[in-house]
């Protein structure tokens, strides 16, 4: 499918959408590998703040006068799996919201002293990276893979850190609705792929 898009190099000096997806993955690795708990929270806060600054830079560089997709990036990986990302006005706002919520969750996790903190923060950053990828992806197969990838970390978060007495019900409902939604998305993607051949 062809999109009217503006490459990232026209608007900004670095591939910002890639950085928005890779910084949380780096933070995930740091959360899992860092041994000293005292520094863990500060590293998480710095990583979340850097992500928010990147999102603010995306918002600043976004040109509202243009009607094309902006900051476009495209890399062919393997066969039909192509990394193709870009942002429109709504995407920019959701990217900002995602980065802000991650910062707030990092502060909340420290304030509530949720344990084990390293696992919680690693999962939060992993979910942020997957959600960033979902928000900027233009490739349906990539979107499907990221949607499926998000299912396990989010369900683990609900299962282990929910504070509601009905967390088992919330977990089962989440798995039911997301499972059905993912199955329908897979069926639709396969139907589109087969009719496109």
- What rounded mean pLDDT belongs to the chain? 92
Q: Let me know: does 129 contact 25? Beta carbons within 8 Å.
A: yes
Which pTM value belongs to this model?
0.92
Highest average pLDDT, of 71-80, 96-105, 107-116, comes from 96-105
What pLDDT band is residue 73 in, cutting at 50, 70 and 90? Answer: very high
Nearest to 45 by CA among 96, 105, 4, 2: 105
Q: What is the pLDDT of residues 30-51, one digit of tens each?
A: 999 987 777 899 999 999 999 9
Q: What is the pLDDT of residues 9-26, one digit of tens each?
A: 999 999 999 999 999 999
Q: What is the pLDDT of residue 80?
A: 66
Q: What is the pLDDT of residue 110?
A: 87
Higher pLDDT, 153 or 78: 153
Residue-range domain boundaries for the chain? 5-148
């Amino acid at each position: 499918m062809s999109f009217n898009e503006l490459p990232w190099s026209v608007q900004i000096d670095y591939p910002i959408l890639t950085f928005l997806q890779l910084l949380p993955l780096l933070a995930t690795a740091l959360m899992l590998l860092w041994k000293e708990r005292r520094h863990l929270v500060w590293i998480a806060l710095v990583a979340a703040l850097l992500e928010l600054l990147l999102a603010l830079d995306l918002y600043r560089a976004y040109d509202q006068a243009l009607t094309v997709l902006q900051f476009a990036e495209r890399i062919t990986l393997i066969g039909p799996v192509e990394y193709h990302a870009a942002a429109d006005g709504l995407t920019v706002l959701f990217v900002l919201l995602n980065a802000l919520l991650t910062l707030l969750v990092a502060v909340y996790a420290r304030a509530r002293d949720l344990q084990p903190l390293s696992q919680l923060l690693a999962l939060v950053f992993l979910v942020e990276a997957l959600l960033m990828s979902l928000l900027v992806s233009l490739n349906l197969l990539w979107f499907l893979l990221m949607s499926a990838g998000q299912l396990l970390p989010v369900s683990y978060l609900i299962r282990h850190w929910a504070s509601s007495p009905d967390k088992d019900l919330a977990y089962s409902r989440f798995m039911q609705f997301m499972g059905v939604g993912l199955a329908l998305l897979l069926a639709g993607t396969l139907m589109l792929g087969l009719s496109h051949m």
